[in-house]
Structures are given as C-alpha cells and as structure tokens.
Structure 1
Amino acid sequence: MTRVLLIEDDRDLAETLLQLMQLAQMQPDYASNGKAGLNLAQNNTYDVLVVDIGLPQLDGLALCRQLRIDGIDTPVLFLTAYRSIDNKLQGFDAGGDDYLAKPFDNRELIARINALSGRRSNQVKRVIVGDLNMDCQNLKVTYQNTTLELSPTCYTLLETLMRASPSVVNRLTLENALWGDEPPNSNVLKAHICNLRRELTRVNAAALLHTLLGKGWALRAGKST
C-alpha cells in the first residue's frame, strides 16, 4: 500500500484528498502546516509527499529544501495555485519532482502519485549510508570526517550505489550511469570497482561495499562480501 504524506493547510481540500487517497487504496498521513509536515517527513517513511507551497509556519519550498539537505529522497509532488513556468521552476529548484497546479482533476493527482511511488528522488543534496556521507552540492565524500579521494568516474559509481542503497545494482545499470549506451568492455567497470574498493579500504570503509556474484554490487552497512 502506498504511504502518502499530505501537507495542506486548506482543511476542506485536505479532507477531500485524504478520502480520495483512501479510495485509491493508499495510506495517507496529514499535516496542516509546514513545520508539522517536516517533522513527519523526517521521522517516518513515505512513498510520496504531496506538499502545498503556500503553507503556514514553513512554506513548501523551504520544507522541500530542508528534506533534500537532510538526504531524504522521498519524491515530492507540489500542489499550488501558482501556474506560471517561473513558479514551476522554483518548485523543481527547491528539490521537487512534480508540480500540479490548482484546480486539478483528482484522477490526475492519483495518477501522478502512482507514477512517483516506488522511485527515489535525485534531488537530494546529501546522501548518507552508514558513516559514509556524500555532499552532492560540493561533490565531496567523507567517511567519519575523512575525505575520500575519488576520480569523477569513481564518484559517479559511488553515487549510483549510495542512491540505490541497500539495493543491489547490476552491471548494466552501473555501465549506463558511467557511459550511457556505449559502455567499454566489462574489465573497465571491474577496474573502477577495484579503484573504489581501494579508496574505501584506505578510509576503513571497505565493509560497506558488497559484491553479489551474478547479481551486482550493493552499498550496505555491515560486513563486505
């Protein structure tokens, strides 16, 4: 069941949307202001956040920015009465993943929530796995305050693994992330994996990188394999 957090200060609209989500077999939570919504989003797990922009106490744009700084990659669908392209660009710049202007068709809202569910947002400014911390704005990675020295290729490789963590990432996905539709031979990927493992070993973080034979690689807290 899709877990949705609705953050909307219009009580009548919120009640309608909550009923709509329940009829669509979703499990919604609700907050009527930005601060309460931020607290729920930081302390619970949701598949999608549906966020009004014009919220009291903390507006939707500031709320989304804080989530992305915190490394929370739950997809955000903005709801707003503002319809201009500049307003939409502000929403995407704040870390949103989709934007729906009021008034809207309820069927479209449900369709957009379903489309976002199961994804993770690429808008996060920080990705964290255990004590491994990636600052996506400054392209810097640290492990227990020690900075990793990564080539651009190894950075992209590590970012792909961290964003997918703890899931397994197969060879094809990694090759597409690094080289698009024209990957070199398989030995090149193996060489970059070895380089990444060597740097993780240098900072005592090798235990995070797992190799699953025949499946791919994963970044997880715990003993490496």
Structure 2
Amino acid sequence: MSLSLLLVEDQRDLAESIWDFFERRGHRIDHAADGALGLRLAIDGGFDVIILDLGLPRLDGLELCRRLREAGRGTPVLMLTARDTLDDKLRGFAEGADDYLVKPFAMRELEARVLNLQRRQSGGDDRVLSHGPLSLRPGQRSCQREGVELALSPIQTRLLERLLQTAPGVVRSEDLLQAGWGEMAPGSDALHSQIRALRALIDRPFAQPLLHTVHGLGYRLQTTID
C-alpha cells in the first residue's frame, strides 16, 4: 500500500535519508524544514501519517501538534526527537502525538511504526457507541457529549472506543494499550498521559465525571459511582 506522508524535519541529512527510504518503498512524501510550513501543510490535510521532529525553527513540534489538534485535524503524528526523558515523551503524548521515536533510530523501525499508525487509523467503522450522555462514531472520529462536539486524536478515539464497548465494565490497562497502539504499544506512562488528556476532554467541562480509574486494574466509563 502506498502512503502519503508529511515529514517535518530541519536536519537536512536526516530528512534526505527518510525521504529516500520511503520513496524507494513506493510512498509519496512531502517535506517541510520548519514548523510554520509544516503546520500549514498538515492543516491542508491529505496525509496518512505525519513524521514530526520536535526541535524545529519558527514553530516547535509540540506547538505544531497542539495547534493541529486544536484545528480538529486527527492525522496520526509520529514524533522524532533526541529528547529521551519520560517527561518529554509524556508531554508529546499530551499534545496529541500518537507515537514517539527517539533519535538515533533504525529506518525499518520508523517504517514499522508509520505502517502501524496507518493501519490503526483506517480500522474504524460507522457504528455509534454510547454510554450515558457520551457518544462516539469511531469511523468518523466524531465524539459528542451533551450536544458538544469533542475533538479527539486517533489514539484517544481508539481508547474511548474500547471503553465504550465495555462500559460500564472495567477495561484492563494492558487491553487499553493494545487497543490504542497495537503490537508496538509504549509503556504504561503513555497510557496514563492519554487517559489524562481524554478525561480533560470528556469530563472536565461537564458537571458529572464519566471516566474513572479502577486502581490496580484499569479504567471504566460509568455514569454513577457504586
């Protein structure tokens, strides 16, 4: 399958290597060397996956990702960075990234992660899932609560889909990791970060919390507390 990719990377040698690698495999790839141009291209859309560096001129990658999600664009984002601390990774996920790869990396791993994101992005359907005042159309990545449209990232959509499928039952943390990231799931800290972001979207603006932590097990959607 041929993919349309956007690479936002200011290191010329690395950008050329990534470009050549994916072109040889039959994919189409566009490139931006700074964050401002990258954001314009990303918002225009049409890409299957965005490969995004963090340390960019004009607009850094975290801000780019945040603005992209605020604009309602749900294209999967894979962040590339030399920042390898846990806090850096969690901040990337909190701003809407779907995966995170630390430099230096093997091109084959980059390819595997890009393909994994694309496969999981295209795996939705047109069912309507609901629990209480919350509803989700996974295939359209359309989520509403009390008539308010909520902008979810692809990862958040998959996590919420799994929670809604089981509600009001408990979804174990390992099952949520599988639902969100598949075989290339990161550690539990990434899940915790995404759950915090999801809770901020579906609960914080409203009077009644729906997303609850079940300590030692996982998470559940529940309209009432036992």
TM superposition score category, shorter chain reference: 0.5 to 0.7
Count of aligned pairs between the two proteins: 145
**Which residue of structure 2 lines up, in the alignment, with residue 59 of structure 1?**
60
Give 1:155 shift.
Answer: 4.2
**Which residue of structure 2 lines up, in the alignment, with residue 4 of structure 1?**
5
**Which residue of structure 2 lines up, in the alignment, with residue 178 of structure 1?**
164
The verdict on how the C-alpha distance between 1:24 and 1:160 changes in structure 2, with shifts beyond 3 A counting, is same
Give 1:26 shift.
Answer: 1.3
Q: Larger radius of gyration, structure 1 or 2? A: 1
**1:83 is the counterpart of 2:84:** yes
SS of the aligned residue for 1:71 comes to: coil
**Which residue of structure 2 lines up, in the alignment, with residue 16 of structure 1?**
17
Counterpart residue type for residue 135 of structure 2 = L
Deviations along 1:93-148, whole A, 9 cap, x unmatched? 11000000000011100000000114449xxxxxxxxxxxxxxxxxxxxxxxxxxx
SS of the aligned residue for 2:131 comes to: helix
**Which residue of structure 1 lines up, in the alignment, with residue 49 of structure 2?**
48
Counterpart residue type for residue 166 of structure 2 = G
Give 5+ residue unaligned stretches, structure 2.
123-129, 144-159, 170-226
Give me the TM-score of the superposition, normalised by structure 2.
0.58
The verdict on how the C-alpha distance between 1:161 and 1:8 changes in structure 2, with shifts beyond 3 A counting, is closer
Counterpart residue type for residue 93 of structure 2 = F
Give 1:50 shift.
Answer: 0.2
**Which residue of structure 1 lines up, in the alignment, with residue 109 of structure 2?**
108
- Runs of 4+ more than 6 Å apart: none
Counterpart residue type for residue 114 of structure 1 = L
Deviations along 1:158-177, whole A, 9 cap, x unmatched? 45465169xxxxxxxx9965
Aligned sequence identity (%): 45
2:16 & 2:75 partners in 1: Cα distance? 23
**Which residue of structure 2 lines up, in the alignment, with residue 156 of structure 1?**
134
